[in-house]
Chains A and B, each alone.
Chain A
Amino acid sequence: MGVVMNRLNIILSGWLWAGLVLAQTSKPEQEAAPPSPQDVPQAAGDQEQRASLNISLAIKAKGTGLILPRVEVKVGAETLFTNSEGKIAFILPADVKSIVLYRKGFEKETLKRDILSESGEYDVFLFPLLGDDETITVRGNRKQEVSRKTISATEAKAVSPGGDPVQVIKLLPGVQSSQFDSRVIIRGSGPEDSRYFVDEINLPFIFHPIGARSVVPEELIEDVEFSSGGFGPRYGWATGGIITVKTKSTPPTRSKWTLNVNIPIYSGVYYETPLGEDNSGALSVSVRRSYLEYILPTVLKSQRDDDQGDLTLTPIFSDAHLRYLKTYADGGYYKLTALFAQDGFRLLADAPRSERDDGKVNVFVDARYLTLGVEREYKRDNGYSFNVAPSLTRAIQEFEIFDFFFKISVLTLDTPMSMTKKLGGKNKFSLGLDYEISRVGLSLLLPVPARDDPFYDPLDAPKIAFNENNLKSSLSAIWGSIDYYVGDFFITPGVRVFHDYQIDRSAVDPRLSLFYKANPSQTLKLAYGLYSLNPLPDEASDSFGNPNIDFEKAVHHIVGLETNWSDLWQSDVQLFYKRFFNIIRSDPVTTVDNDGIGYAYGFEVFMRRMLTERFFGWLSYTWSKNKEKADASSPWLNSPYDQTHAMTLVGNYRFSTRWQLGGRMAYTSGNPYTPVSDAVYNTNLDVYQPLFKESTQNSARLPSKTKLSFFFKRDFLYDTMTMALRFGVEELIIGDKTQNIDYNYDYSEQQSSQAIPAIPYIEVSAQL
């Protein structure tokens, strides 16, 4: 579905703005030189007599309306400067024909006397310029982790699918995107093996399953951190990776509205404003909602033949946020965050397996959550800092299909807290506690598994009903780590001790990372860690699962070399080996067991051109192998996540403050699938059922894919408003367009289903 929506993430409106592009041509941009005396026209003796004028100017930046202090104002031979409020008052002598305004980073502006024709107050807007291509945009320096990469929101927005910053992780090494899931596969670990955070708040999902976009408004994002493995003990209950969206921790300097209109997908509005006399606080709010449910049914109907039957699909996604930020002089802050996200769809279609008289099937899927989180960071002069980030999340997921339904409702209180003590130099000690308690409500009507039926079909099976609203699970953990510098070495040993109260088991996960600065430009990196993933409540349930189930485990081994080739160019090469054990598998006797084992190994190359005001980009390449087996006696088989090659080339170039070009090219090996070996006709069901050989599980592979995406973006700067027009193509497939393998009704013939063609898009947004 994510694939479909990504393709449909296309904006068809905005042609009106295309006219504006043609009408408003950009000026050639050059950094303005300070005005010379020749720039300032002097009085001419033969000019007509004029009176002196009392002029007051308020000088601001074009497009944002931000006040500009220290603007140089040449009035005749006199040089003046605007005050801290961007204002200046002066007498314009009768013999001066014009004045010149100059500030570094802006176009030089000349105001002629016919503009300043009367005494009075004038607002003047200076047009911003781009900087040079050698100055690197500096970001905050966070704690090092061997496989962690941080991408600024500026970079991420410029290259990510749909301009959605969080999706930048899909362009980084070690990451695969699955075909029908908006979440990511990290170094062979399934999507559910990784955790997703907004600051310190753990979210049920960070990408809309329907819209594939992230649930966090892009204006709120400072940067995106992605750890593909070897992460420290601060994070637990994950064997894959950690994705953290860092929101801005500094209040804005002015109020701002952003309106996005995306037809036919969604519209959204975002507002932020500083609070307090010293602008130490901020409030932001956003709402976004899709309207595909009004458009897609008509589109689908028009594209289908009568022979293909009726199909009504009404997807919907929405999200909203509210955040209060308060900053303190000691560097600490307080964040109150509320996040809501919803995804779902209804589908009514002709289906051979329908139980209804009209031959149709009705599918309803809905996932939604509301999270309330508070984060307080204290920094003390004695070297201590504290972070407390409790959050309360209500998540509901339900689906209905045929006569079946499933609804799970989870209320989770998560209370991570941590303390850091500086030990001298750059050394420090960190200690944290994490307690999570959940109350789970589960109601369902599902088919009963019948393991003695070789042609078991869920539609034909008897049903089981279950309704329980007070299932409980809780997890607790304590962790600690030390950042220790010895000469050219930086070592971080750590440990995480935890307990799962539902299965009543405890475990200890040691972690270690080591950096060795071999020379000023090269750093050797090593990481080792044991990682545990707690079973889901249903897997550990007496009714549906196995109460004796244990944690899933993974061991990460990473060796890397980071090289700074210059201030602008950086590379990171990593070898990784992951061993999985205790993987939870279905079992005919105990429902589920921990017998599964697997491994993934490979190497990654990340070559990055650092962000300047004009250009940035990177090349990301991953080669990997991923195998698994159901138990120790079974043969090794390809994992469903095995993808040998994954390469992404991304880049963005700003020609001027008005124009930029961005794009990416991705090459990936095809995902594995299990071919049908034979088929039987089941007379009870009147359908053909495929047969698969265990030995050929995931033995076939879809064709590899090369995808190209690019866009142009044109900014229109008005006095206090910026409009942006973005147009381009998403995921233009070059070569084989096979999306999946389909079979005919009796599985005697195979054909490939083709990907939806790439559609050009136009998107309009406004900031004021």
Chain B
Amino acid sequence: MKYTLLPSIIMVSIIGCQNSMDSPETLQKLRAIGVKTTPHILTPENSNSSVNYTFYFAKPVGSPDLTVDNYNDPQSFVPYIPIDASSAVVSSENFGGMDLLEVTLSGGLSDLALLPIRPDIGFTTLPFGLTVSSGSEIENVVGRQVIVPVGEAAKYTIPEFTLSEPTSRTLSSATTPLSASLETVSEETYRISWYVSSGSVKNPKALVTVWKDIAVGENLLIFTARGRKTNAFFIKALKITR
């Protein structure tokens, strides 16, 4: 009965998640949002090509500018996809009190021996990472690129979503429903995330949910979806005024 401990710990950790000191969907400081990779899935044919990365961050207006560095993993026992941090291009768009930043750069696979496809699971992965800081705030962002056999990649398309709620960019109350729907067909499913610059989202991982305690003024609302297997990434940012 050694196995009794595991579910107990899982359950406690789940309950513990409910008591987090802050809401992860509420943007208050430098915060990584996600990474779009092009291509979003690799095959062994890509062994000599490069991958373009767009790292998304939210940052309060007026906080120090971003600095970009390579991520050094002290515990890694597999090679990371080399990314040239010095070539990073940072662009910014303002959404009231928050800026949405895009850090664009590329990584090369030419010096990297792609790991063989694991026969037991049908794919393999390669990690990538980047360290971004704004003053004393540091975000270490990591991800993994999935490599599938030739011909498999076509199964996994980049998703398109439609945001049907809020229906207006201008709100009269502090609460609004949030709703998104998938418009494309793919073999994979997606992880949903809502981010807001004020208030909180009742269930920020659901397609249909509620945004509460919206502050008066301009607010940032971000919707993201990311593939559960690949790096297919969708992002939509809206400026919502109350």
Residue numbers of A with Cβ under 8 A of B are 1, 180-181, 191-192, 204-205, 209, 304, 306-309, 311, 345, 347, 349-355, 357-361, 363, 365, 367, 395, 397, 399, 401, 406, 408, 448, 450, 452-455, 460, 462, 536, 678-686, 688, 691, 740, 742, 744-746, 749, 751, 753
A744's partner among B20, B122, B226 (CB-CB below 8 A) is B20
* B159 part of interface (Cβ distance < 8 Å): no
**Are A351 and B17 in touch, CB under 8 angstroms?**
yes
**Are B24 and A746 in touch, CB under 8 angstroms?**
yes
**Are A363 and B141 in touch, CB under 8 angstroms?**
no
Task: Apart from A397-B4, A742-B20, list 7 A-B contacts with CB within 8 A.
Answer: A209-B8, A304-B18, A311-B15, A352-B24, A359-B205, A359-B206, A363-B10
Within 8 A of A (CB), among B131-157: 139-144
**Are B143 and A682 in touch, CB under 8 angstroms?**
yes
**Are B144 and A350 in touch, CB under 8 angstroms?**
no
- Distance in Å: Cβ of B14 to nearest Cβ of chain A: 5
| Max chain A Cβ within 10 angstroms of own Cβ: one of B15, B24, B120, B122 | B15
**Are A1 and B21 in touch, CB under 8 angstroms?**
no
A363's partner among B14, B31, B212 (CB-CB below 8 A) is B14
Q: Which residues of B contact A681 (CB under 8 A)?
A: 32, 139-142
Q: Which residues of A contact B35 (CB under 8 A)?
A: 683
Residue numbers of B with Cβ under 8 A of A are 1-12, 14-24, 31-32, 34-35, 71, 73, 75-78, 115, 120-122, 124-125, 127, 129, 139-144, 189, 191, 193, 200, 202-209, 212, 224, 226, 228, 231, 233
**Are B140 and A679 in touch, CB under 8 angstroms?**
yes
- Distance in Å: Cβ of B102 to nearest Cβ of chain A: 14
Q: Which residues of B contact A678 (CB under 8 A)?
A: 140
- Distance in Å: Cβ of B164 to nearest Cβ of chain A: 15
**Are A454 and B6 in touch, CB under 8 angstroms?**
no
A-B contact count (CB 8 A): 163
**Are A683 and B75 in touch, CB under 8 angstroms?**
no
Contacts known (A536-B2, A686-B193); A454 close to B32, Cβ less than 8 A: no
Q: Which residues of A contact B121 (CB under 8 A)?
A: 448, 450, 462
Q: Which residues of B contact A680 (CB under 8 A)?
A: 71, 129, 140-142
Q: Which residues of B contact A691 (CB under 8 A)?
A: 75
| Cα separation A216 to B120 with both chains bound (whole Å) | 46
| Cα separation A751 to B21 with both chains bound (whole Å) | 8
**Are B7 and A180 in touch, CB under 8 angstroms?**
no
A358's partner among B11, B23, B78, B203 (CB-CB below 8 A) is B203
| Cα separation A361 to B205 with both chains bound (whole Å) | 12
| Cα separation A678 to B75 with both chains bound (whole Å) | 12
Q: Which residues of B contact A686 (CB under 8 A)?
A: 34, 191, 193, 224, 226
Q: Which residues of A contact B11 (CB under 8 A)?
A: 1, 345, 347, 363, 365
Contacts known (A351-B17, A453-B125); A401 close to B142, Cβ less than 8 A: no
Q: Which residue of B lies closest to A536 (CB)?
A: B2
| Cα separation A532 to B123 with both chains bound (whole Å) | 41
Q: Which residues of A contact B31 (CB under 8 A)?
A: 746
**Are B4 and A181 in touch, CB under 8 angstroms?**
yes
| Max chain B Cβ within 10 angstroms of own Cβ: one of A181, A204, A742, A746 | A746
The 5 A-B pairs of least Cβ separation, nearest first, read A745-B24, A359-B203, A683-B143, A462-B121, A359-B206
**Are A454 and B224 in touch, CB under 8 angstroms?**
no
Contacts known (A399-B6, A684-B226); A180 close to B1, Cβ less than 8 A: no
**Are B7 and A401 in touch, CB under 8 angstroms?**
yes
| Cα separation A684 to B233 with both chains bound (whole Å) | 9
- Distance in Å: Cβ of A339 to nearest Cβ of chain B: 15
| Cα separation A307 to B19 with both chains bound (whole Å) | 10
Q: Which residues of A contact B141 (CB under 8 A)?
A: 680-681, 683
**Are A350 and B18 in touch, CB under 8 angstroms?**
yes
B1's partner among A359, A367, A401, A460 (CB-CB below 8 A) is A367
A352's partner among B2, B189, B205 (CB-CB below 8 A) is B205
- Distance in Å: Cβ of B96 to nearest Cβ of chain A: 22
Contacts known (A354-B205, A395-B1, A454-B127); A682 close to B224, Cβ less than 8 A: no
Q: Which residues of A contact B32 (CB under 8 A)?
A: 681, 683
| Cα separation A434 to B140 with both chains bound (whole Å) | 57
Contacts known (A349-B18, A357-B206, A742-B19); A683 close to B76, Cβ less than 8 A: no
24 contacts between A and B (CB under 8 A): A180-B12, A205-B4, A209-B8, A353-B17, A355-B189, A359-B206, A397-B1, A397-B3, A452-B124, A454-B73, A454-B75, A462-B120, A680-B129, A680-B141, A683-B34, A684-B226, A684-B231, A686-B191, A686-B224, A742-B20, A745-B20, A746-B24, A746-B31, A749-B21
| Cα separation A453 to B124 with both chains bound (whole Å) | 9
| Cα separation A681 to B55 with both chains bound (whole Å) | 12
| Cα separation A721 to B222 with both chains bound (whole Å) | 69
